[in-house]
Amino acid sequence: MKPFASHQLSGLFLLFLLGTGVLTGCTDGVTSNDFEPVSDGVLQSKTRHANLLAQATKRQIAGKSASQSGLIFSLDTQAILERYGTLEPTAILERYAILERYGIIERYSYKDVFTGFAIWVDTPHVVKLIKAMDRDPDIAWVEPDVYLHPLPMPLAVSTRGGELSPWGAVRMGLTGHSARDVDLYVIDTGVSNDDINVVERLDFREGLDDPVDHDGHGTHIAGIAAAIHNARGLAGIAGGARVHSLKVINGDEVDNGGEVELAEAVAAVEYVTHQKIASPDKPMVANMSLGADMGSEVYNALDDAVASAISKGVTFVVAAGNYGSDAAMISPAHVRDAITVGAYDQSDNFANFSNYGEIVDILAPGVNVVSLATEAVGQTNSLMIMDGTSQAAAFVSGTAALYLSMVPHASPAQVRFALLEHSRKMIHNVPSGTTDRTIDVTKIESDDD
């Protein structure tokens, strides 16, 4: 089952107020006529990434005659409280849900990263609904729900005995420390290998409940960051960290170019944030090795969610992306307070596929990186080699977990500062404006002595 069932209600709202045109709570005195779309077709500043509307996720819902497109929107909570003296998020949604022409179905609700919803709406009416929301004083922003993509570049699988330290771990100075008291959230394809201390497996994909990693990407990431030091398999940077596997990516991702809907990724970040709020003293790191080229530096719902989680104490490490372009346009890589990671190779040269730019905070190994393969597809005791900033991010996630095991009450800003402070200037051929520094684990360890 999905976690947080109370935050992920689905189905049409059965609200029988169509005859009166009057809603309760925050919507007293509001009629459906107040939300007719504007006639000039101009969208105002509340509508974000309108240029991506054609890419909004679309699917055929059982029993529906029209295809459905996804929207995410946030409420202006301060304005609502000032205007009405109370906050009733569902009442804002209901003022649209009762208008049957929109065909609204609620997918997810959010309260910890921002107050808002993800919905399906009948595709023929999605523009009209956006225009209506755009002029609604109780809505802060609305945007299309687009696809994010994982960032794997698989090369090969091999089987071997004993325990291997990846070349990147050796380059960064891994010396066998563990981080068993740190919680590492891997938001990816799942994690399935018993050489990793997985304490929780959840599936955030809508309508699905299969947290197993059938792909290998999430397991590869978790192995780099946290494989247990036990003389077999792989030596992770922060061996034995408590790994929480949050699956958001669909299908056989490596083979078929799997995707994740923005709303589902936000739901996973919402979950992590809720855990931090519930246990503020627990040191937590989250790894996100997925992204989308938004063509803009303007934040989307996932960026807002990640920034909110960081503000509440979760250290987020994100992959810069494998497009060979400016990371400033990539979500969630361009979140300023996250630790954004680019990649380099065994010769200490900047990887030609890695995104670059001022937004990249640090570089880490991302070429010919060996890690654990998923046992779910018969790769028991096997290792897989992959390229990508995904792998680079995993090295940094592990290092962040290692630092938090030593300084458990460090804030995300302090973790970020420590990793950058304890870095080495050593990477060659970096693009203009991009850092040439990489993590040095030995400096972090010696600083704690």
Q: Are strands 423-425 and 382-387 parallel, antiparallel or unpaired?
A: unpaired
Considering the domain 149-448 in this protein, what is its CATH number?
A: 3.40.50.200
Could you give the count of Cα atoms lying within 13 Å of 14 in the half-sphere of its Cβ?
1
Q: How far is it, in rounded angstroms, from Cα 106 to Cα 229?
A: 44
Residue type, position 28, single letter: D
Q: How far is it, in rounded angstroms, from Cα 335 to Cα 408?
A: 23
Could you give the count of Cα atoms lying within 13 Å of 370 in the half-sphere of its Cβ?
18
Could you give the count of Cα atoms lying within 13 Å of 317 in the half-sphere of its Cβ?
33
Distances (CA, A) of 274 to 197, 243, 252: 22, 17, 29
- How many Cβ atoms are within 10 Å of 85's Cβ, its own excluded? 8
Looking at residue 72, its pLDDT comes to: 97
Which sequence spans correspond to the domains of the chain?
Answer: 5-145, 149-448
Distances (CA, A) of 281 to 4, 133, 275, 313: 21, 39, 11, 9
Return the DSSP state at 150. E
Sheet of 369-372, strands arranged across: 153-159, 382-387, 369-372
Structure-derived torsion over alpha carbons of residues 50, 51, 54, 56, reported in degrees to the nearest 10: -50
Residue type, position 102, single letter: Y
Active site residues: 188, 217, 390
Residues with Cβ within 8 Å of residue 274, at least 6 apart in sequence: 4, 112
Q: Which two tokens stand for residue 99?
A: 């208008």
Looking at residue 154, its pLDDT comes to: 53
What's the full length of the chain, in residues?
449
Q: Are strands 242-247 and 198-203 parallel, antiparallel or unpaired?
A: parallel
Strands (DSSP E) contained in 172-323 are 183-188, 198-203, 233-234, 242-247, 260-261, 284-288, 290-293, 315-319
Q: Are strands 198-203 and 105-110 parallel, antiparallel or unpaired?
A: unpaired
| Among 178, 198, 182, 180, residue whose Cα is nearest residue 190 | 198
Looking at residue 44, its pLDDT comes to: 57
Looking at residue 133, its pLDDT comes to: 93
pLDDT string in tens for the chain (449-residue length): 333 333 332 222 222 111 112 222 233 323 333 334 333 444 457 999 999 988 888 887 777 767 999 999 999 999 999 988 999 999 999 999 888 889 999 999 999 999 999 999 999 999 999 999 999 999 999 999 998 876 555 555 665 556 777 888 888 877 667 888 999 999 999 999 999 999 999 999 988 899 999 888 999 999 999 999 888 888 899 999 999 999 998 755 444 456 789 999 999 999 999 999 999 999 999 999 998 899 999 999 999 999 999 999 999 999 999 999 999 999 999 999 999 999 999 999 999 999 999 999 999 999 999 999 888 877 777 888 899 999 999 999 999 999 999 999 999 999 999 999 989 999 999 999 999 999 888 777 666 54
Q: How far is it, in rounded angstroms, from Cα 336 to Cα 363?
A: 16
Q: Is the dihedral of CA 301, 303, 308, 312 positive or negative?
A: positive
Q: Are strands 116-122 and 198-203 parallel, antiparallel or unpaired?
A: unpaired
Three-state DSSP at 367 gives coil
Evaluate whether 285 touches 397 at the Cβ level (below 8 Å).
Answer: yes
Q: Which helix (H) or strand (E) holds 385?
A: strand 382-387
Distances (CA, A) of 72 to 4, 131, 204, 304, 365: 18, 14, 16, 12, 35
CA angle 295, 299, 300 (to 5 degrees): 90
| Among 236, 397, 237, 246, residue whose Cα is nearest residue 314 | 397
Does the global pTM surpass 0.85?
yes
Q: Which two tokens stand for residue 425?
A: 């200037």
Q: Which two tokens stand for residue 25?
A: 């709570």
Three-state DSSP at 208 gives coil
Q: Are strands 147-150 and 260-261 parallel, antiparallel or unpaired?
A: antiparallel
